[in-house]
Structure 1
Amino acid sequence: MSQFWTHGLLSVTVLSLPAIVPLLAQGIMVGFYQVKETRKPSYFVKLAYGYLPLVLAGNLAHYWRLGLGEGGRILPVMFATFGLSGEGLPVLVAHPAVIAFLQGTTLISGVLLSLFLTQKIGRQPFSLLLPHHVSTIVLGISLWWIIVGF
């Protein structure tokens, strides 16, 4: 408890970074609009729906390890919980490389779907939505480092 405020402030800062990246992208879009007087950018609340496939992919990628690693041990653990012998029950666990492949594939799919959905929702040229596309890729890379680990 002696370092509560330090840890609390650091936690709030780190947890707010994923929200700041898309807001910064929207700020860049509005800045381009004011400087070059191009098409008016879409509202942020509308474009935020484009990030949902990435959010879903991040959650799925996180739970691949639990589902394919520890989920295959559910029968022996359940029997041991009730005091029964779980010996001889099947244990189905995926290789860590398979789990990492599925996590990476899920994240890449989420980034691509987010790019596509943001483009469809925004209904603007690719160059005007480029800040949001870059922020989607940055968030996808950060999820890759956190979840897959390399």
Structure 2
Amino acid sequence: GGMNGMFAKLSITELRSTQQVCGSQCSTFGCYKGSTETALNFADALPNEGQASKGCPLYSHPAQLQDNRDCMLCMDCLKTCPNRSGQLNLRFPASDLLDDHHGFWAEVALLLLLFGGVFMHHSQTILGWLGWENVPVDADHFLTSLPITLALLSIPAILTYFTHAIARFFDSEQPDYLTIIYAYLPFVLAANLAHYIPSFITEAGQILPVLARSLGYSGTGLPTLTWSLDVAQFLQGVTLLSAMVFSPYPLLRITKQSDEATGIQRLMSNLPHLLFMAGLTVLLFKLMI
């Protein structure tokens, strides 16, 4: 749930309601408390409006949501609202991060853990670069595996913190680390997706035989679909490049301190982060492709 809520901040959709309508016309509060079926008093009411509901699973009011983290997009509030206040809107990607967003340590820890997990998945490749390809990382060698695992999981935290320290050295008006780290959220999502693309490409086409075997049948003769490894690598490359394309804009918006600074000035103050993002893209390419 925490992972889905965090990545939902990058979504192009949002579910919100109008505070004025909720405050002046609503008397049931069924969207988050739950209510029985509500009679509607307008002529063009639809049969799926004003339904009975148990309320929001996260006990959140759509008029008070600050971001997508506390919304499961279950649509219960839309179905139960008798005033048509709730709306499903399209928006600019990552809008939650662009204006007055403040992170908190638990979510940042999850972000860095998911990012570090990508390096952990490719531990043998990284150890091979260091000349330690024969060092096992498994439960049978716990004492040697533990420090290696902690070091691999710490790579994103150490590198991003060091990069931000350099950026703040040249520009003291940079926001704090808990705020700036969200600029790397597209990278975390892209890196995790890119890691699982080969498995998806090679196994998704086997869904019918696997389903048949799960139900006790042989699955012989059922159609399958396979792609070459080149297709998987191409999709991995596109996914990683998309992170490099989409991450600078949230970075520049998050670090925007005043309207007086020109675009060139903001680029220069964020140069350490931009260079690190470029280097990170190259590193992930070498790890995965």
Q: Report the TM range for the smaller structure's normalisation.
A: 0.7 to 0.9
Q: Using the alignment, how far apart are the partners of 2:251 and 2:168 within structure 1?
A: 16
Q: What is the percent sequence identity of the aligned residues? A: 35
Aligned to 2:253: 120
1:28 has 2:150 as partner: no
The Cα offsets for residues 114-150 of structure 1, whole Å up to 9 and x where unpaired, read as: 12221121126111111111222222222222222xx
Q: Using the alignment, how far apart are the partners of 1:76 and 1:100 within structure 2?
A: 25
Equivalent AA in structure 1 for residue 285 of structure 2 = W
Give the Å deviation of 1:74: 1.2
- TM-score, length basis structure 1: 0.85
Q: How does 1:85-96 map to 2 (within 5 A)?
A: 85-96=218-229
Q: How does 1:1-150 map to 2 (within 5 A)?
A: 3-33=141-171, 40-123=173-256, 125-148=266-289
SS in structure 1 at match of 2:269:
coil
SS in structure 2 at match of 1:93:
coil
**8 Å contact from structure 1 (residues 18, 139) kept in 2:** no
SS in structure 1 at match of 2:218:
coil
Give the Å deviation of 1:2: 7.9
Q: Using the alignment, how far apart are the partners of 2:140 and 2:193 within structure 1?
A: 36
- TM-score, length basis structure 2: 0.46
Give the Å deviation of 1:3: 4.6
Give the Å deviation of 1:48: 1.0
Aligned to 1:36: none
Unpaired segments ≥5 residues, structure 1 = 34-38
More helix by share: 1
Q: Using the alignment, how far apart are the partners of 1:40 and 1:131 within structure 2?
A: 14
- The structure with the largest alpha-carbon Rg is 2
Unpaired segments ≥5 residues, structure 2 = 1-138, 257-264
Q: Using the alignment, how far apart are the partners of 2:162 and 2:220 within structure 1?
A: 55
Aligned-residue CA RMSD (Å): 1.9
Point out which structure has higher relative CO (alpha carbons under 8 A, 6+ apart).
1
Structure 1 residues 42 and 65, CA gap change in structure 2 (3 angstroms): same
Aligned length: 143
